[in-house]
């Protein structure tokens, strides 16, 4: 009996060791993505029973796909090649400096890279990320410089009748000083939440690096949740875990804009801030640009700096709230009150390009001054990260 138990124990050890070695080879020893000195990148996936493996990501040429908003750009794909051990490989051409996202498609099923733990969520899609350093991409890296603090706070919104979650960035040295700071209110797009600008936009890294370079004045950045039916991002609030959706109900019906001062009151009541319009900026991407446009107009003497990043300036059937009435007259009041900067940026192939062109014509006709930046590409985070890095140095 003892001999039998000893053999059983030895067999268990051998099995465990063999399984561990297999796991080690299949996952931990595989390097993917591997970034080479010439900025080429190799992707690898161990999938011996797969018939087809592709990689898709924003480093590949785009393709046109249909969306609820018409034809838009989407990442293309490339085939990996399988060796005799079941390891699939693909190597890129040299890539330009940028933060890139990617995923694998195995026999038609989209999946993340098991060899890389570095992931981000965009709405309900999970992708891996990597950075090719150099140029503006160095702003997205964590460098050996002083760092700010990122806090996830809860504030009371009497207007929306709930406590809500907000992300707050405070600049390096905030905790040790008595200094007061200006505030940038940075708004996300449809499907995003209070996590988006931090995770997808690399806001903390960008602000740390720009402040260290002396290109940006130290400031507080407030990143609220723009979906009025949520108290927080999916999985972070009282509704628990549920699948995020692209356009939550009541998101662009005016409720958020009308109750935005609840956020301003919280920030100014809980942080050392400089008050007054000269010390407040508001900017947003896509839906957040739509919100920033209407908030700054609805409260026309509140923000001296306004940034519209690929703003979703489009007619909406649910835009019936008081916020959207008297559009021209309140915009004229905003212009009359004066401001330091009205900044508009959009990509040449963005599906909102014409809407923004029409809005600029309206501003031109009424004599409202603005700065305009036009970039390559469409409705993508690559542009919005750049817009933040160009807008922030112009503030305060």
d(CA 87, CA 27): 11
The domains spanning 25-133 and 140-394 adopt the same CATH topology: no
Question: What's the angle, vertex CA 205, arms to CA 202 and CA 208, rounded to 5?
Answer: 145
Tens-level pLDDT at each residue, the chain (396 residues) = 444 444 444 444 444 444 444 444 455 589 999 999 999 999 999 999 999 999 999 999 987 676 655 666 778 899 999 999 999 999 999 999 999 999 999 999 999 999 999 999 998 899 999 999 999 999 999 999 999 999 999 999 999 999 999 999 999 999 999 999 999 999 999 999 999 999 999 999 999 999 999 999 999 999 999 999 999 999 999 999 989 988 888 888 899 999 999 999 999 999 999 999 999 999 999 999 999 999 999 999 999 999 999 999 987 777 777 899 889 999 999 999 999 999 999 999 999 999 999 999 999 999 999 999 999 999 999 999 999 999 999 999
pTM of this structure: 0.89
* Domain topology for 25-133: Immunoglobulin-like (2.60.40)
Helix/strand/coil for 391: helix
Domain definitions of the chain by residue range: 25-133, 140-394
Instruction: Please give the CATH superfamily to which domain 140-394 belongs.
Output: Alpha/Beta hydrolase fold, catalytic domain (3.40.50.1820)
In whole angstroms, what is the distance from residue 4 CA to residue 2 CA?
Answer: 5
Q: What is the pLDDT of residue 67?
A: 63
Predicted confidence at residue 4, as pLDDT, reads: 45
Tokens 């008050």 sit at which residue?
275
Bridge partners (DSSP) listed for residue 296: none
Q: Which run of H or E residues covers position 288?
A: helix 287-298
What pLDDT is recorded for position 66? 64
Please give the pLDDT value at position 74: 78
């Amino acid at each position: 009996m003892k001999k039998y138990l000893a053999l059983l124990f030895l067999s268990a050890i051998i099995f465990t060791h063999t399984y561990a070695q297999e796991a080690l080879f299949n996952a931990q020893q595989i390097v993917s993505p591997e970034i080479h000195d010439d900025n080429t990148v190799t992707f690898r996936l161990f999938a011996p029973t797969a018939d087809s493996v592709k990689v898709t990501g924003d480093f590949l040429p785009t393709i046109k796909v249909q969306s609820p908003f018409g034809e838009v750009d989407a990442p293309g794909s490339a085939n990996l090649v399988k060796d005799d051990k079941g390891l699939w490989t693909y190597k890129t051409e040299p890539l330009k400096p940028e933060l890139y996202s990617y995923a694998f498609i195995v026999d038609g099923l989209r999946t993340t890279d098991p060899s890389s733990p570095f992931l981000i969520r965009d709405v309900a899609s999970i992708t891996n990320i990597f950075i090719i350093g150099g140029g503006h991409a160095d702003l997205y890296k964590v460098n050996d410089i002083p760092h700010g603090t990122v806090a996830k706070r809860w504030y009371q919104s009497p207007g929306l009748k709930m406590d809500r979650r907000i992300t707050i960035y405070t600049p390096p040295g905030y905790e040790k000083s008595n200094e007061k700071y200006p505030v940038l209110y940075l708004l996300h797009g449809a499907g995003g939440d209070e996590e988006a600008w931090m995770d997808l936009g690399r806001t903390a890294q960008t602000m740390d690096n720009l402040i260290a370079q002396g290109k940006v004045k130290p400031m507080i950045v407030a990143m609220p949740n723009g979906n009025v039916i949520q108290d927080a991002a999916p999985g972070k609030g009282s509704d628990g875990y549920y699948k995020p959706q692209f356009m939550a109900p009541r998101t662009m019906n005016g409720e958020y804009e009308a109750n935005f001062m609840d956020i301003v009151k919280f920030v100014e009541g809980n942080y050392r801030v400089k008050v007054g319009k000269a010390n407040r900026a508001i900017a947003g991407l896509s839906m957040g640009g739509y919100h920033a446009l209407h908030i700054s107009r609805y409260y026309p003497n509140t923000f001296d700096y306004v940034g519209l990043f690929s703003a979703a300036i489009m007619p909406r059937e649910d835009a019936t709230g008081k916020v959207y009435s008297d559009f021209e007259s309140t915009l004229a009041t905003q212009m009359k009150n004066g401001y330091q900067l009205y900044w508009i940026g959009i990509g040449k192939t963005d599906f909102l390009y014409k809407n923004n062109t029409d809005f600029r014509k309206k501003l031109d006709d009424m004599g409202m001054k603005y700065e305009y930046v036009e970039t390559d590409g469409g409705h993508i985070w690559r542009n919005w990260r750049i817009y933040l890095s160009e807008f922030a140095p112009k503030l305060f």
